[in-house]
Structure 1
Amino acid sequence: MDKITDAKTEFRRRQWTQIIQDCQNSGMTVVGWCSQNNVNTKSYYYWLRKIRSLA
Structure 2
Amino acid sequence: MDQITHDVRTAQWAEIVRSCHERPAGQSAKKWLDENGINEKQYYYWQRRIRNLVAGTTSKSLPATRPTGEV
Fold equivalence (TM over 0.5): yes
Report what 2:3 is aligned to: 6
Count of residues in correspondence between the two structures: 52
Q: Could you list the runs of 5+ residues in structure 2 that have no partner in the other structure? A: 55-71
Q: TM-score, normalised by structure 1?
A: 0.88
Report what 1:50 is aligned to: 49
Larger Rg: 1 or 2?
A: 2
Percent identical pairs in the alignment equals 33
Which structure features the higher share of helix residues? 1
Mean CA deviation greater in 22-31 or 35-44:
22-31
Question: What value does the CA root-mean-square deviation take over the aligned residues?
Answer: 1.2
Q: TM-score, normalised by structure 2?
A: 0.69
In 2: Cα distance, 1:30 partner to 1:23 partner: 7
